[in-house]
Amino acid sequence: RGRAAVAMGKGGKGKGKGKDSGTASGFKRLEPQIAQGFDELCKELVQQMARDQCTLIVFLPGIADITSFYEALAPLDTSRATHRSSSIEDWRDTGNSSPPAAAAPSSGPIALRIYPMHSLIPRDEQEEVFKPPPPGICHVVLASNIAESSLTLPSVCGIIDLAMRRSIQYDARRLMSCLVTTWCSQSSCKQRAGRAGRTMPGRAVRLVPRGFFESEMVEFDPPEMLNAPLTKLYLQAKQLCAKLAVMYDRGLIPEDVDMKLETPTDLLGEVVQPPSTQLVKAAINELSEVGCLDTPTEDALITPLGYLAMALPCELRLCRLLYLGLMLDCPCDAIAMVAGLTAADPFSTPSLLVIKDQREYVKKLARSFQARQWCDNGRHCEPLMLRDLFEAWIQAGAPRGTKAIGGFARDWNIIPKKFEALASEAVDLCQRLAKLLNPRSKGAADVQRLLRTMRFAVDRREELVKSQFPEDKAYESLFCKDTSLMRALICAGFSDQLLVHRTPGQGGKSDKSEAMFNVMVRHGLDKRGTVAILNPPGLGNQAALFALCEEMCGERPKRIVEEDRVVYFEFYCEGEGGYGHHDEAEGEAVIVDVCPQAHRMHQFGAGRWKFSVEMSDSQVNQFHGESDPEWRDEELRYPVEVLKPVHPFLLNWEVVQHTASTYGGGKGQKAPTVKAMPDWRNPVGFACHAVPAKQQEGHLGVCASVQGLESGASAFVAGTTILGLNHLPLILTTLNPAKWQVQLGYNIDTYEVCAIKIMQYEIHLPPDTLTYDVLWKINQVRKAFLVSLTPWEEPPDPQHRGRGPGFGYIWVGDASWEMKELLEEVWPSAGRVQPSSRSKILWTKACEDACEDDDEVHDWLRPLIEEYDWDSHPWDDTPSVQYVQGSSRKNGGKVDAGDLGVCEKVAEYLRGRKKGAKDEKLTKICNKFKVQKKVLQKSSLLEIVRSDDGQDIVRLGNLGGNLGGKKSKGGAKGGGKASGKSSSGKGAPSQSSGAADAMITRLCGTPGVSVTLADFDSQVRKLLSNLHTRRGRAFSEGLFEMLSGVCLSKQRDQVKAWNKYLIVLIRNYANDHLEMGKRERRDLSTLIDGIE
């Protein structure tokens, strides 16, 4: 059996993949992986090693392996409510008229009871395993490394060790934490073996060869510092370096101590096993991108967010969520969300590993999902779901203790101990924040109020003391009721952990989804009430399929449709919207989700692709179309394999990811595609946008954490929030445009942003999603964040708070007003996307490149471009834009810099031809400029058409005729007259509408005004046209009335640049800055004096 264990590993990616490790052992480096057949091997070992009133422990890597082995050993378990055979075909192939002995409840002289043990399984559901086995019983525990040293089981007589474990390691190449399977160390294996023989003679069996164990497996586990992210540790090392420098200057450190303490890297290099340089650099970059350091360098300063992160026991992005919650005036909501995301899931999660009766499992699963769906309220946002649960606990009086919280736990189907841990986490966060925030600030007052509702308070000595629940109703206003503000907070906090839903047409797998949609339409199936299963057992037998559906979700479907080996189950869903407990749930919903029955069918398999469903003997006969035998036993059940349900409108997520090689926009490099797997227990796990239309909408999402898997093709995501495309402006408030290679796509006909690129993902946007006003207000929010994250000249020192009021506390800025202004521009729902032709999209970077002389503090928060400068020539020197072609012409694609220069020469040649000259043939142009035909076909400057005589001719395209012509006094030479004169004399096409032109002419003709037609250049006309289109004629008339009044009151020489002055006036009027009572009212006279 030791030699068979060699098949457990495959050539790994680690040390020396596929190479001999040396003559000492003769083994190859093996990747830890359980080979096929090892479950049967363990099954045989369990039966041989079982002893009366003893416990056997089988150490397995993770929950997936525990589930697989549990199903293999389930026929040996005698504690199940019903007997179970290992296979449907066990007795059918024999031809016997009676059930086989394998189906009998006994497995030998000693009865076995199988128990799983994992951190995901609640402790309350594992209590029986800690009791001594009764006479005639042997406990078999399938455990992860949780049973290695944390828990003590009674009467352990045997250990079966696969010598593997699942651990979280930081992958510096993929820039994320990954859950990987690794070989255990020799010390861990010896620790596991020591579990046996403590109270009686025992035996430990390791399923690896002795030579492999002694020569290939490491002796001790490596330090956590070598595999974990160093972000928090680096911040602490940086702060320690500053303190050591002060101590050295004061002479507190002897001069003969030779230690390099100048930088955190030097300090970390002094440990016994220092971390790699790559991990340290990754920590610096991540701290800078989150906002804890002002620059990604060794000499960077710690920001207020950095000091907050050092004081809180949370991940960096959760700390940023809490910091932004203080800035947006909703700290209590942020504390509730951070506490819920940090603690374990408080909701009850039934498991077939613990519940022996399948029908009882289905009932508990329905209750669990009902509670989660009630808290989610149709918003498909896990942080808000946990926030609402916490708020309901506060409204119930914040009961503490097992007995007091019992009623609340039953009502909301939560586990009392887990919710107690969540509440304790919230108390701890409040206590730490109370020490950091200025007591006079509003954020500190809100934190103290929330702490009092949890029956605690922080006294003057900053110690936690017990308190009484407040008698007034002030706690009812602690939490924000504005869902849009909560989404804005979540988007800003988790913007760099972005998810994208690829519609069937974009994802490459549109055939199956389209075929399923056509079947639903043809048979009149309800999109929300229907779910499908591919190739289920019992095809062609309606009675068997009805029974299968009832076993999976506890409810019979309305009807069943079969076509192309796909079975569609349609349920009654009228009146079961049940999205939440608020009347405004429909307005808060982002998607039109499927019915709860579809979710329960998906949750039955606990997120697995293939799982088993136990069916009774009579149901199995229905599967095979046979009559019931004489010895039929209703208690005898057989497992049948079923694939997880699917839906044509299921939201399939991908993680927007970059690696170390793609960071910085390496040319030709593409980030890998990573499939995101949300939590299957929550409504986001099987979220579908079941709209009647065939055309699907694009969706975005953010998540609190991403945990990659060792395969690299998928990752677990937690704290997921589903967003519409209308929420994209909220994501851009903190997104780093350089890191994520953000590009804006302008429609060359309408001059509006119609698409956006984030890494390799091209997303077409609904109209008016990213207008000039929206981009301007996004920059205002980014500016507020930038000011708040400015480092202090002196770090806060809690020991010297008496020097002055507020000294020693962190200062958190206020961005609530800027965010409120931005939310007014965000549409409540996403409109219909009308993709523009790719030949009409002009791509440009979302922000300008940072100059070397500019201040690089928080470079990721530099402003986005608010509009594209259409007056400039993008191809004069080095092209800064990309012209994408390929929809209407064949051989479409991108034009590189060299080809673009040739196409510009051709366009310049065509512009310079005399008016009325004959069209140039394609072959003549190719020979004249030594260029290939396909290069001209890909250019947006040129257009190739077929003449009446069948010849291909070359003409100026949309961009070639409008942009880039020679400058002349009246406009573009050879490119047609511009529709509006430009004061700068540049040949950009005017964007003013006829109504705006008429108003401009009327204004300039008014006696006594100081403005002229020349002052309304292309930029001013474009702004007026956009506002007139978006806000209507009434707004435009009010705007021109204001302009008339201002221009009559000003002399011509009072303003240095009238075109810029007009833009200031229009922007202020559009943003209501001229109205009395508005905060941040602008003084126009000050702005006028500053205009040059």
**What is the secondary structure of 435-493 as a DSSP string?**
HHB-TTSHHHHHHHHHHHHTTEEE-TTS-EEE-PPPSSSGGGGSS---HHHHHHHHHHH
Strands 721-724 and 456-458: unpaired
| Residues 172/280, Cβ–Cβ less than 8 Å | no
872 or 865: whose pLDDT is higher? 865
The counts of H helices and E strands in the chain are 34, 32
Least confident range of 756-760, 778-782, 800-804: 800-804
CA distance 297 to 679: 37
When the pLDDT of each residue in the chain is averaged and rounded to a whole number, the result is: 78
Out of 216-230, 656-670, 689-703, which region has the weakest mean confidence (pLDDT)?
656-670
Q: Is the pLDDT of residue 997 over 90?
A: no
The sheet with strand 636-643 has its strands ordered as: 83-84, 636-643, 610-616
The predicted model gives 392-413 an average pLDDT of 89
Structure confidence at residue 884 as a pLDDT band (50, 70, 90): very low
Q: Among 269-283, 617-631, 772-786, where is mean pLDDT lowest? A: 617-631
The answer to whether 870 touches 988, Cβ cutoff 8 Å, is yes
Burial 382-417 (b: 16+ CB within 10 A, else e): bbbbbbbbbbebbeeebbbeeeebeebbeebbbbbe
E strand or H helix at 754, and its extent? strand 753-758
CA atoms within 13 A on the CB side of 1081: 7
- Highest mean pLDDT of the ranges 201-210, 457-466, 913-922: 201-210
DSSP secondary structure string for all residues of 693-728: SSSPPPEEEE-SEEEEETTSSEEEEES-EEEEGGGH
Mean pLDDT of 412-419: 92
Q: What is the average per-residue pLDDT within 208-226?
A: 86
Higher pLDDT, 204 or 1086: 204
Range scoring the smallest mean pLDDT among 220-234, 707-721, 796-810, 1044-1058: 796-810
For the chain, the straight-line distance linking the first and the last C-alpha, in angstroms and rounded, comes to 86
Two tokens, residue 479: 């939490």
Q: What is the DSSP string of 806-871?
A: TTTSB-----HHHHHHHHHHS-SS-----PPPGGGEEEEESSPPPPTTS--TTGGGSPPPSS--TT
* pLDDT surpassing 50 at residue 576: no
Length of the chain in residues, anyone?
1092
Angle at 630 between CA 624 and CA 633, to 5 degrees: 75
**Band of pLDDT at residue 756, cut at 50, 70 and 90:** very high
CA 291 – CA 307 distance, rounded (Å): 11
In b/e form, how buried is each residue of 949-966, taking b as 16+ CB within 10 angstroms?
Answer: eeebbbebbbbbbbbbbe
Contacts of 795 (CB under 8 A, 6+ apart): 239, 242, 302, 307
Percent of the chain with pLDDT over 70: 75
Distance separating alpha carbons of residues 79 and 74, to the nearest angstrom: 10
pTM over 0.95: no
Region for 280 from its dihedrals, namely left if φ exceeds 0, alpha if ψ lies in -120 to 50, beta otherwise: alpha
Ranked by mean pLDDT, the top range of 174-188, 367-381, 569-583 is 367-381
Tell me which residue has tokens 């103290």: 448
Decide if 110 contacts 661 (C-beta within 8 A): no
* pLDDT of 730 strictly over 90: yes
Does the pLDDT value for residue 315 go beyond 70?
A: yes
How much of the chain exceeds pLDDT 90, in percent? 31
Residues 6+ apart with CB under 8 A from 456: 427, 430, 431, 464, 465, 466, 467
| CA distance linking residue 1088 with residue 1018, whole number of Å | 21
Spatial separation of the C-alpha atoms in residues 205 and 193, rounded to whole Å: 8
Q: Mind listing the pLDDT tens digit for each residue in 810-835?
A: 889 899 999 999 999 898 888 778 77
- pLDDT for 577 equals 41
* Average pLDDT rounded to a whole number, residues 786-794: 79
Q: According to the model, what pLDDT value does residue 1028 have? A: 75
Query: Higher confidence at residue 145 or residue 320?
Result: 320
pLDDT at 583 over 80: no
CA distance 479 to 453: 12
The three-state secondary structure class of 510 is helix
Identity of residue 105: P
Average pLDDT over residues 216-241: 85
- Per-residue model confidence (pLDDT) at position 194: 87
Which of 945, 14, 822, 17 shows the shortest CA–CA distance to 484? 822
Q: Which residues pair with 724 in a beta bridge?
A: 699
Q: Which residues pair with 955 in a beta bridge?
A: 943
* Residue scoring higher pLDDT (597 or 145): 597
How much is the pLDDT for 665? 44
Letter string b/e over residues 797-814, b meaning 16 or more CB atoms within 10 A of that residue's CB: eeeeeeeeeeebbbebbb
pLDDT the model gives residue 26: 52
Tens digits of residue pLDDT in 527-536: 999 999 998 8
Q: Angle between the 416-436 and 382-395 helix axes, to the nearest 10 degrees?
A: 90
- For residues 601 and 646, what is the distance between their CA atoms, to the nearest angstrom? 10
Specify the pLDDT at position 92. Answer: 42
Q: Which residue has the higher pLDDT, 164 or 227?
A: 164
